[in-house]
């Protein structure tokens, strides 16, 4: 039987407010346990939540960015369940009247085509605390610093048909929230997390199969792996004539397996009701329009502009605009060097490669845009070749230079890397190479044209890569053909 996978994602985004969604406690990451958990976060009797307007503003920004309807009136509900990291025994969330209604985003598939994925809704809620199960004999330690951190839960339509599509969707949402500056999107610190609803159905069948909800997916790599192992598990069940149980499953990245979380099942009756502590959240059409005016240029628009104004290929334009930090870096270099293609090649080539090799995000690249500009100017004016430029770049990457535009010149001088453009000097090297390789000269002259590559290589080697390749080619041809 041919099976088709159906995937929907719920993404939890921590909104980057200074204070919590219902209290004035700090949301800063990494503080000593429970030093940022006040009486409201602890759910002590008699406290009253007061809503943080910034969480509303940031949520509305997201809604506008995905073309969604913004609900001028939204309501907080209580989601009731017992777990010690949620001391009130309910989570304040929005079930019936979420702030953001239906919207959509477009993802790019592997074959380069686009696919539209529906966003069902997005609602505001509070995060829970953290449980630490290690180190305590028969006890669990609770840190409530994270409790009350504002979250935007973004729910997708079950529109994805492969793990790769799910990853592309997740990356696009990540890109958008980073562009908007509404979340730091830091997955290691849990600011961007994902649950995946996964089901299988016979190919061609209209109705959905029974789904399992995978929890605890905290990286782009894991979302693909988790869905893949879950597909295999469900396929095994279905192929052997069994039925899939609707349940919550935890993804274990170490064992690369999903396993049932039975305790979550019996709690699955959340008995939502409107939170009497909170009045309806109202935002006017004028306020929404004012927020719309603050939206930055988003990745799709930026990509289109790079193609149209700068003449970049779609592939390059997309790659440059995924990460806002990279796009801003690129624009700075591109404007200063005035060569869109060259700047694009460098960013997507050497700079990305070095960052990846060192496990760095673009924003942490040790070579800044000004330094790279200084370097590319020297390639443009033929002071150094592209190959030598990589050597200079690596020197900058490992900390040489002071962070200014003059760094390239300093390193070129210090290492004596200036390109040899003096015809006499190049001729002298070529004469020596020709004299040392009489056999190859004879072969070339008898018609083995391909040997030109050998000669160029020898000359470049003899000049330690500094000879101007264009001139080398030209003079070599003259001399060998004469």
Partner 1 sequence: MSRLDKSDVEKIAFLARLGVDEQDMPEYAANLSNILDMVEQLNSVDTDGVKPMAHPLDAVQRLRADEVTEVNDRENLQSHAPETAEGLYLVPRVVE
**DSSP label at residue 399:** T
CB atoms within 10 A of CB 97: 16
Q: Are 263 and 228 in contact (CB under 8 A)?
A: no
Angle in degrees, CA 236, 241, 242, rounded to 5: 75
Q: Are 44 and 144 in contact (CB under 8 A)?
A: no
Q: How many residues bind partner 1 (CB under 8 A)?
A: 57
Residue 2 CB, nearest distance to partner 1 (Å)?
A: 36
Residue 213 CB, nearest distance to partner 1 (Å)?
A: 15
53 interacts with partner 1 by CB under 8 A:
yes
Specify the DSSP element, H or E, that contains 361.
none
Residue 280 CB, nearest distance to partner 1 (Å)?
A: 5
Using the rule CB under 8 A, give the single segment among 74-82, 107-115, 295-303, 441-449 that binds partner 1. 74-82
Using the rule CB under 8 A, give the single segment among 125-133, 190-198, 225-233, 464-472 that binds partner 1. 125-133
**Binding letters toward partner 1, positions 7-36, x by CB under 8 A:** ----------xxx---xxxx-----xxxxx
**Binding letters toward partner 1, positions 130-159, x by CB under 8 A:** -xxx-xx-xxxxxxx---------------
For residue 184, which of 360, 356, 25, 13 has the smallest C-alpha distance?
13
Alpha carbon distance 233, 239 (integer Å): 10
Residue 181 φ/ψ, nearest 5 degrees: 70, 25
213 interacts with partner 1 by CB under 8 A:
no
226 interacts with partner 1 by CB under 8 A:
no
User: 3-state DSSP call for residue 272?
Assistant: coil
**Binding letters toward partner 1, positions 242-281, x by CB under 8 A:** --------x----------x-x--xx-x-x--x-x-xxxx
**DSSP label at residue 80:** E
Residue 264 CB, nearest distance to partner 1 (Å)?
A: 9
Residue 20 CB, nearest distance to partner 1 (Å)?
A: 9
38 interacts with partner 1 by CB under 8 A:
yes
358 interacts with partner 1 by CB under 8 A:
no
Q: Are 288 and 70 in contact (CB under 8 A)?
A: yes
For residue 433, which of 463, 412, 397 has the smallest C-alpha distance?
463
Cβ-defined contacts of 29-37 (< 8 Å, 24+): 29/186, 29/189, 29/191, 30/189, 31/145, 33/141, 33/143, 33/145, 34/143, 34/144, 34/145, 35/145, 36/145, 37/129, 37/143, 37/144, 37/145, 37/147, 37/148
Positions in 282-321 near partner 1 (CB under 8 A): 282
97 interacts with partner 1 by CB under 8 A:
yes
Residue 54 CB, nearest distance to partner 1 (Å)?
A: 4
The binding site for partner 1 (CB under 8 A) comprises: 17-19, 23-26, 32-39, 42, 50-56, 75, 80, 82-84, 89, 96-97, 131-133, 135-136, 138-144, 250, 261, 263, 266-267, 269, 271, 274, 276, 278-282
């Amino acid at each position: 039987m041919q099976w088709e996978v159906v995937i929907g994602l719920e993404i939890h985004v921590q909104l980057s407010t200074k204070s919590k969604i219902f209290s004035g406690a700090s949301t800063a990451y990494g503080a000593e346990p429970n030093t940022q958990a006040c009486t409201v976060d602890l759910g002590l009797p008699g406290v009253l939540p007061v809503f943080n307007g910034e969480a509303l503003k940031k949520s509305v920004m997201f809604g506008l960015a995905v073309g969604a309807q913004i609900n001028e009136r939204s309501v907080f509900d209580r989601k009731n369940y017992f777990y010690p990291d949620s001391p009130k025994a309910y989570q304040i969330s929005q079930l019936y009247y979420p702030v953001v209604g239906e919207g959509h985003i477009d993802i790019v598939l592997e074959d380069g085509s686009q696919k539209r994925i529906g966003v069902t809704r997005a609602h505001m809620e509070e995060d829970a605390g953290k449980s630490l199960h290690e180190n305590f004999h028969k006890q669990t330690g609770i840190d409530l610093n994270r409790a009350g951190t504002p979250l935007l839960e973004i729910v997708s339509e079950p529109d994805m048909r492969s793990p790769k599509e799910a990853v592309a969707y997740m990356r696009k949402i990540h890109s958008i929230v980073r562009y908007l500056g509404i979340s730091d999107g830091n997955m290691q610190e849990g600011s961007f997390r994902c649950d995946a609803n996964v089901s299988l159905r016979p190919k061609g069948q209209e109705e959905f199969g029974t789904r399992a909800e995978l929890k605890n997916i905290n990286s782009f790599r894991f979302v693909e792996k988790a869905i893949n192992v879950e597909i295999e598990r469900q396929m095994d069940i279905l192929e052997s004539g069994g039925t899939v149980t609707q349940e919550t499953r935890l993804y274990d990245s170490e064992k690369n397996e999903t396993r049932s979380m039975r305790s979550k099942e019996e709690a699955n009756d959340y008995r939502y009701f409107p939170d009497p502590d909170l009045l309806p959240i109202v935002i006017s059409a004028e306020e929404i329009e004012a927020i719309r005016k603050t939206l930055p240029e988003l990745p799709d628009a930026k990509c289109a502009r790079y193609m149209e104004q700068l003449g970049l290929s779609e592939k390059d334009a997309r790659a440059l605009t995924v990460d806002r930090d990279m796009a801003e870096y690129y624009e700075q270099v591109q404007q200063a060097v005035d060569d869109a293609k060259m700047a694009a090649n460098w960013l997507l080539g050497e700079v990305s490669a070095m960052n990846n090799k060192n496990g760095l995000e673009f924003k942490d690249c040790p070579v800044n845009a000004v330094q790279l500009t200084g370097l590319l100017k020297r390639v443009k004016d033929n002071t150094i070749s592209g190959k030598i430029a990589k050597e200079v770049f690596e020197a900058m990457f490992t900390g040489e230079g002071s962070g200014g535009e003059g760094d390239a010149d300093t390193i070129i001088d210090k290492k004596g890397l200036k390109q040899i453009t003096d015809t006499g000097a190049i001729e002298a090297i070529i004469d020596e190479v020709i004299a040392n390789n009489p056999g190859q000269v004879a072969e070339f002259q008898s018609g083995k044209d391909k040997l030109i590559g050998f000669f160029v290589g020898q000359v470049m080697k003899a000049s330690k890569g500094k000879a101007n390749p264009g001139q080398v080619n030209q003079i070599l041809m003259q001399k060998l053909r004469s």
